[in-house]
Chain A
C-alpha cells in the first residue's frame, strides 16, 4: 500500500505543505511520519468486501431520481448524476480494523501531537487502501469492457447517510470485515470507508458532451 506522505501532512493541517513548510522542517516532519507508518501497518488489519449489482434508474419528472442498485433503493440527484450511463454499480466497504483506533487512544493519552500525527497517517492509509480496492474493481470492470466512475460515498452531496444501513445489511459488514454501524450511523472501526462505484459500458471513443 503506497501512502502519500504529503497527504498525511495535509490531514495534519498543512493545507499546502509545499508552501507552508520549509524544506528542513518538512523533512523532519516526514521522518516522524516514517516512524509511525510501520506502527500503523503492524496494528492495522485492512479488510474489504465488494459486491457488484445491476443498476437501474427511474427519474420521474420533477422528482428526485431513484436508483435501484441490486436490493438497494436510493433517491439522490447527485448520485444519479455520478452514475449516469452506468449499467452496474460496485458497493465497496473497506476498513483498517480496530488497531488504529486503539493506537489513537494510546497516543491521545501520551501526546496530542502524536495523536494528530497518527490520526493523519491513518486517514491517509485508509484512503490509500480504498484506492487499491477501487483499482481492483476498475481492472475487473475493464476486463469486461466497462469503465469505472469516481467513487461516491454516503454523505456526499444529497446522498443520505441513512444509506449506510442498507449497505451494511447487503454486504453483511459486521460478519465479513468486522465493520459496524452505531445508531447514529458512525462507522466503527473509525478508519473505514463505504462507497458506490458506477460501471458504464465504454463508448467507443466518443465523448460525453453532456457532462
Chain B
C-alpha cells in the first residue's frame, strides 16, 4: 500500500470525525478515560471505526488520544496495542485493507512543560515515546499528533515519534481565533519549527469551526511546503441547559470544507461535534461517493487546485537566484525573517565569556541572573536575535546550555543563536530550544560539515556557514565563494535548503592587510548575486589595531549593508552600531515609510542632537515597563540622613533611585573609595533604615523593594570592580522553593534582600528535590538553608527536606517561609525558625552568623 505521506501529497486524504459524542452515546461517563474501552468495550470501538470507514474515511484514528503514562500509571502499552488491534480488525471487516490508513492518535499530555509547568522536556519525550513504540510495533501506519496547543510539547511529541519509529508523522495543532497556539506561537512559527523537525504534513484541528478556521488555513497554506490538514469542530460549542451543542450541521460543514479543499488543503476531517454523517457527506462531496478498494478516489481534495499541495515544490525555490526566500528562525512565539527584503538582523553578541572576566565568573558561580540581565539589556537596545555562547574550560558546556536556553526563553521572546563548537552542547541546546534556532556555526571543513549538518537535519534550524575550510581563510572573494559552494552542496545532500544558510564572508583586520575590507565586501556582494544566499558578518574585527574603532566598525557595517549583508553580529548596546544599522536600512529602502527609524528617533529633530540619539535606543524598554524611580519614595518617612561623602548614595538607596545609586557607586569607586567601605558604611545602613521602617509598619513592601532594587544596582557595580576571590560576603546561604512548588516570587525577594545585606546566596531555584538541597549543603558546608513553600500540598516536601537535612547535616539551620507557613506550622515540621517576610529572614541570618562569630 502507498505510504500515507505519499498519498496525501498526491491525492489528499479524508480523515475521520469526532469520537467523544459517539462514545458518550454508548455510555461513556464524563471523566472516564475513553482509552480503557479498548480493553473493556472493544465492540464499541470497532463499531466506531466501522462507522467512519463506511462513511468514507481514509485515515482513521486509534482510540489512544490520552494513552500515556500520566493517565495510565502502569504504562500505556496494553491500551495502545489493543487500540491498534481493534483498528486493524475494523479495517479488515470493512474490506478497506488497501484503502485506509491507521493513525496512531497522540494527544497532549495535559501538562505544561518546564520552565513554567512541571513536566521536563525530556520526560515529555519519553512519555510520548512509550505510546509511539507500542503503536508502531502493533502495526499503525502513521503517527498523528493532534490538538497540540503548545509548540514545545508538540516538538517533544514529534521528536518522540521520529526517534522511535520510521512511520510518517502528521501533526495538527489547536489555534485560537487570533491565529496563535494557546501558549503564543503564531502560524509561521509552528510551520517553520515543525517542518524543520521533518513532519510529513501539518495543520489545524479542534477548538474552531470550519468558517473560523479559514483565515488560519490560508496562512498555513501560504507558509507550509508540506501538505496541510484541516480538521475543524462542528462549529463553536454552545452550552444550553448543561449540554454542549455544536452549531454547524453536516451540510454547512461540508460546504465550507469544499472551499477549504479548493484553497489547497490536502487532509480534511472532523473533530469535536462531528459524526460519521459529516464524514460521509464530506467524502461524497470530495471523492464523489465513499471510496472502496474497487472504485478508488476520483479526485483528491484540492488536487487540481493551483498552488495546492499537489504542487509539492516549495514556493520560491525556482527563482531563488534572484529572490531568495528569507531565512526563518523562530522563538517560541514568532519568526524572524533574515535576508531578502527584510531589515538587517541584529544579532546581540554579549552572552559570551570570551575576554570577559565578569561573565566567566558568572558562569563559574552559576549566576544565571547576570546572564539573563545581558539578554534583557540587549533586547531593550534593539537586538533581534541573541547569540548564546557559554564556552569556558571550567564548566560543562552542554549542561549549562540545557539549563540556560530555557531560562533565557522564559524572559525573552527573541530567537536565539546557539554558538558552540562542542557537538554535544550543540545537540543538547537544539533539543532544549523552544523554536527553530540559528546555529553558530558550520564551516567548509569536512569534520564540521559531518558533525553539524546531521544535527540540523534532525532538529531543524538555520546555520551560519563560515567561508573557510582545512586550507584556512581564502585570501580572495573567489576562494571564499568556492568554499560557500562546497558548503551549499553538502547541505543540499542533507536536505537542508539554501535559505537556511547564512554565509559569513569573514571580516579581517585592515591594519594587517589593506584590502581585507574590500575582499569581505566583494564576498558579501557576490554571495548574494552569484549564489543567491544570505550573509552575515561580525564586523568589529575590521578595525583591530586602529584608533576610534567604533567609527570604522559603523562605517564598514553601512558599506556591507549596501553590498547586501543580511545580518550582523554586534554589541547592540553600542549606539553607534545600532545607529548605523537603522540609517543604512532607512537609506537603502529596507525600512518602509521609515517606520522603524522614526519610531526610534522621533524626538530628535535637530542635526545637533546626535549624542542624545544614542541614549534613545537604550531607553526603549522591550516591555515599556516603568523604570523610573518609585514616586512615593520622594517623601519616604525613612529618608536617610547620612552626612559626608556617602550621603548621595545613601539617599539614592532610601529613595529607591536605581540609576543614581549605580552612578554614585561608580563615582565613589573611581575616587578610590574602598568597595568594602561602600558596602558597610553606605549600602547596608541605608537599606537597613528602610528595612526598619518596614518592620515597624511605617514603610510598605513596595518601598522596601524599590530600595532593594537600588541597592542591588549599587552592588552589581561593586561586584564588577572586585576580583573573583574578593567577595565581601557572609554565608553562603542556600535558598530553594521545595519540590513540587513552582512559585518563586517570595523566594526571589528574600534572595535580593540577603544579597543586599552582604550574603552570598546559592539559589537552587524552584521545584528542588530534597536530595539536591542536602547534597549542596554537604558539599558547601552550608550553615543556613532557607526553604519556601506556597501550598499545603508542598509542605510535605518541605518536611521531608528538613528530615533529610537533620539526618545528614544536623548542624545546618533551617528557616522556612511562604504563603501557607505559620510559626506553629514551622515548629511542627521541625524548622529552626519561621520568617514571615524577607526582612525577618535577613534578621534570622544575622543572628545565626553572629552566633558563629561569638
State the A residues within 8 Å of B (CB).
Answer: 12-14, 20-22, 24-25, 28-29, 31-32, 35-36, 39, 45, 47, 50-54, 70-72, 88, 97-99, 101-119, 155, 161, 166, 168-170, 174-175, 177-178, 180-186, 188-190
The smallest C-beta distance from B350 to any residue of chain A, in angstroms, reads 15
B391 within 8 A of A: no
Give every chain A residue within 8 A of B712 (Cβ-Cβ): 112
A29-B182 contact given A113-B656, A114-B625, CB 8 Å threshold? no
B104 within 8 A of A: no
Give every chain B residue within 8 A of A169 (Cβ-Cβ): 31
Closest A residue to B795 by beta carbon equals A184
A180-B110 contact given A98-B184, A109-B372, A112-B705, CB 8 Å threshold? yes
Contact flags B173-188 to A (C-beta < 8 A → 1, else 0): 0101010001110000
A36 and B174 contact, CB distance less than 8 A? no
A188-B742 contact given A170-B30, A174-B110, CB 8 Å threshold? yes
Among the stretches B444-452, B506-514, B629-637, B683-691, the one at the interface with A is B629-637
B117 within 8 A of A: yes
Would you mind naming 22 contact pairs between A and B with Cβ atoms under 8 Å apart?
A13-B702, A25-B631, A31-B631, A39-B623, A45-B176, A47-B182, A103-B623, A105-B411, A106-B412, A106-B623, A109-B376, A112-B705, A113-B706, A113-B708, A114-B626, A116-B749, A174-B149, A182-B111, A182-B118, A182-B740, A184-B797, A189-B116
The smallest C-beta distance from B796 to any residue of chain A, in angstroms, reads 9
A161-B702 contact given A105-B411, A109-B373, A114-B625, CB 8 Å threshold? no
Assembly CA distance A114 to B700 (angstroms): 14
Assembly CA distance A111 to B361 (angstroms): 22
Assembly CA distance A166 to B54 (angstroms): 36
We find that the number of chain B residues with CB closer than 8 angstroms to chain A is 66
B752 and A112 contact, CB distance less than 8 A? yes
Assembly CA distance A132 to B176 (angstroms): 21
Assembly CA distance A180 to B708 (angstroms): 34
Assembly CA distance A54 to B241 (angstroms): 10
User: Shortest 9 CB-CB distances between A and B: which pairs?
Assistant: A28-B631, A178-B182, A184-B740, A13-B701, A112-B705, A25-B632, A71-B30, A182-B118, A113-B706
Contact flags B696-716 to A (C-beta < 8 A → 1, else 0): 000011100110110010000
B670 within 8 A of A: no
B624 within 8 A of A: yes
B116 and A98 contact, CB distance less than 8 A? yes
Among the stretches B95-103, B217-225, B292-300, B786-794, the one at the interface with A is B786-794
Assembly CA distance A155 to B741 (angstroms): 16
Assembly CA distance A169 to B30 (angstroms): 8
Q: Which of B150, B411, B702 is the most central at the interface, judged by chain A CB atoms within 10 Å of its CB?
A: B702
The smallest C-beta distance from B767 to any residue of chain A, in angstroms, reads 8
B393 within 8 A of A: no
A119 and B745 contact, CB distance less than 8 A? yes
Contact pick for A51, options B117, B242, B794, CB 8 Å: B242
Closest B residue to A174 by beta carbon equals B110
B627 within 8 A of A: yes
B318 within 8 A of A: no
The smallest C-beta distance from A50 to any residue of chain B, in angstroms, reads 7
A116 and B701 contact, CB distance less than 8 A? yes
Give every chain B residue within 8 A of A28 (Cβ-Cβ): 631-632
Contact pick for A32, options B31, B242, B631, CB 8 Å: B631
Give every chain A residue within 8 A of B412 (Cβ-Cβ): 106
B174 and A175 contact, CB distance less than 8 A? yes
B232 within 8 A of A: no
Give every chain B residue within 8 A of A108 (Cβ-Cβ): 745, 748
B625 and A107 contact, CB distance less than 8 A? yes
Assembly CA distance A27 to B792 (angstroms): 37
Q: Which of B149, B178, B700 is the most central at the interface, judged by chain A CB atoms within 10 Å of its CB?
A: B700
The B contact surface, by secondary structure, is loop
Closest B residue to A71 by beta carbon equals B30
Assembly CA distance A114 to B111 (angstroms): 29
Closest A residue to B749 by beta carbon equals A112
State the B residues within 8 Å of A (CB).
Answer: 29-31, 107-108, 110-112, 116-118, 147, 149-150, 174, 176, 178, 182-184, 206, 239, 242, 244, 369, 372-373, 376, 410-413, 622-627, 630-632, 635, 656, 658, 700-702, 705-706, 708-709, 712, 740-743, 745, 748-749, 752, 790-794, 797
Closest B residue to A27 by beta carbon equals B631
Assembly CA distance A88 to B182 (angstroms): 30
Give every chain B residue within 8 A of A181 (Cβ-Cβ): 110
Give every chain A residue within 8 A of B794 (Cβ-Cβ): 184
The smallest C-beta distance from A53 to any residue of chain B, in angstroms, reads 6
Additional A-B contact list (14), CB under 8 Å, known A25-B632, A175-B108: A12-B700, A13-B702, A29-B702, A108-B745, A110-B625, A111-B709, A112-B712, A112-B752, A117-B702, A178-B150, A178-B182, A184-B794, A188-B118, A189-B116
Closest A residue to B149 by beta carbon equals A178
Assembly CA distance A146 to B622 (angstroms): 48
Give every chain B residue within 8 A of A115 (Cβ-Cβ): 705, 745, 748
Closest B residue to A95 by beta carbon equals B182
A12-B411 contact given A25-B632, A184-B794, CB 8 Å threshold? no
Give every chain B residue within 8 A of A24 (Cβ-Cβ): 635
The smallest C-beta distance from A77 to any residue of chain B, in angstroms, reads 18
B242 and A53 contact, CB distance less than 8 A? yes
Give every chain B residue within 8 A of A182 (Cβ-Cβ): 111, 117-118, 740, 742
Closest B residue to A50 by beta carbon equals B239
A178-B183 contact given A116-B702, A161-B792, CB 8 Å threshold? yes
A109-B632 contact given A101-B116, A182-B742, CB 8 Å threshold? no
Assembly CA distance A153 to B413 (angstroms): 34
A104 and B745 contact, CB distance less than 8 A? yes
B742 and A39 contact, CB distance less than 8 A? no
Give every chain A residue within 8 A of B658 (Cβ-Cβ): 111
A32 and B239 contact, CB distance less than 8 A? no
Assembly CA distance A202 to B39 (angstroms): 47
B31 and A170 contact, CB distance less than 8 A? yes
Give every chain B residue within 8 A of A35 (Cβ-Cβ): 624-626
Assembly CA distance A86 to B89 (angstroms): 48
B206 and A175 contact, CB distance less than 8 A? yes
A184-B702 contact given A28-B632, A52-B239, A178-B149, CB 8 Å threshold? no
